[in-house]
């Protein structure tokens, strides 16, 4: 079967699978934009495009509210006037105050306690290359975003912490500390062809995503943030473990660094990041055959510098 036909079939299967367990009403999502425009590299319109795409998900799955939140206190104000299932913190700026931290903590304490950490959210839609133009290669980044938010929502609601590498993590880490002390984004991640996706939750929750398309996006810019992983104690005194959903090795070592982490365990099976095919949404334990690494388009990993941030 041709790749395009197979992708279309898998998308249809995913829609049918989701329809059988559809939420009675759309999940309410706050997309809180605390990312500066960086001289036009990350315009507010680009950040809002991602929020609007959630609302446009077929099946009346999400209703997303976009808020431009560069002023301190904006998060508290937004959470004070709406009821949300998921809060997406699209944050590479340091714009939060005590009221913001308290409001997010109250959201968490109210039961929205599923957590997702992704240090690649900044590059998901920026003026940098064709690969960072939303919705991304084969709509991969749009579909991946929908899957991430859907996993948070269907598990009972929660918070999506999204940022970039260590140039820009102060604000998001401030918010994390108010909920999960000791858990912090750090460093610079460098995606490569030896990456692994654990299970298919983030690859097929709603829309199937080919791992290779994710890699082609992530590696074109080549420097994202490393999310926290391990076990921490939250503000309620509960032990919370952050599990790795995607990771990559440090080249030349036996160490691996997390790339996306969550407060729930990943599904069964492992998938190589260079697999060119989306997983079968009807088989969450599928482990695609190896060998697809030869299909990776070289040159994506050579990016050293960014056109951004003075």
> pTM of the full predicted structure?
0.86
pLDDT of amino acid 23? 54
CA 35 to chain CA centroid, nearest Å: 15
263, HSE (Cβ side, Cα atoms, 13 Å): 24
pLDDT tens digits for the chain (310 residues)? 444 444 544 454 444 444 434 457 999 999 999 999 999 999 999 999 999 999 999 999 999 999 999 999 999 999 999 999 999 999 999 889 999 999 999 999 999 999 999 999 999 999 999 999 999 999 999 999 999 999 999 999 999 999 999 999 999 999 999 999 999 999 998 899 999 999 999 999 999 999 999 999 999 987 899 999 999 999 999 999 999 999 999 877 889 999 999 999 999 999 999 999 999 866 544 333 333 333 333 333 333 344 344 3
Cβ atoms of 150 and 116 within 8 Å: the answer is: no
Give the span between the Cα atoms of 116 and 159, in whole angstroms.
6
Cβ atoms of 225 and 185 within 8 Å: the answer is: yes
**So where are the chain's domains?**
3-302
**48, containing H or E segment:** helix 44-55
Cβ atoms of 249 and 255 within 8 Å: the answer is: yes
Burial readout 275-288 (b: 16 or more C-beta within 10 A, e: otherwise): bbbbbbbeebebeb
pLDDT of amino acid 283? 59
């Amino acid at each position: 079967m041709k790749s395009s036909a197979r992708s279309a079939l898998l998308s249809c299967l995913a829609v049918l699978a989701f329809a059988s367990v559809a939420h009675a009403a759309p999940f309410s999502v706050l997309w809180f934009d605390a990312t500066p425009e960086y001289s036009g590299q990350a315009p507010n319109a680009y950040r809002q495009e991602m929020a609007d795409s959630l609302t446009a998900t077929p099946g009346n799955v999400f209703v997303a509210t976009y808020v431009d939140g560069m002023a301190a206190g904006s998060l508290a104000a937004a959470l004070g006037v709406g009821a949300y299932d998921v809060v997406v913190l699209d944050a590479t700026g340091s714009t939060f105050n005590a009221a913001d931290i308290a409001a997010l903590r109250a959201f968490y304490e109210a039961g929205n306690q599923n957590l997702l950490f992704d240090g690649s959210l900044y590059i998901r839609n920026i003026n940098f290359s064709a690969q960072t133009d939303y919705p991304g290669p084969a709509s991969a980044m749009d579909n991946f975003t929908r899957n991430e938010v859907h996993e948070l929502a269907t598990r009972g609601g929660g918070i999506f912490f999204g940022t970039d590498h260590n140039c820009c993590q102060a604000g998001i880490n401030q918010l994390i500390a108010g909920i999960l002390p000791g858990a912090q984004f750090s460093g610079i991640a460098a995606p490569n062809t030896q990456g692994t996706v654990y299970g298919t939750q983030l690859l097929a929750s709603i829309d199937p995503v080919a791992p290779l398309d994710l890699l082609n996006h992530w590696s074109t810019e080549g420097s994202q943030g490393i999310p926290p992983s391990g076990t921490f104690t939250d503000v309620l005194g509960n032990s919370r473990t952050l599990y790795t959903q995607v990771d990559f090795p440090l080249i030349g070592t036996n160490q691996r660094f997390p790339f996306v982490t969550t407060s729930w365990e990943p599904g069964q099976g492992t998938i190589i990041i260079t697999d060119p095919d989306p997983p079968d949404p009807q088989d969450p334990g599928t482990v695609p055959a190896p060998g697809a690494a030869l299909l990776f388009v070289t040159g994506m990993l050579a990016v050293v510098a960014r056109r951004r941030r003075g």
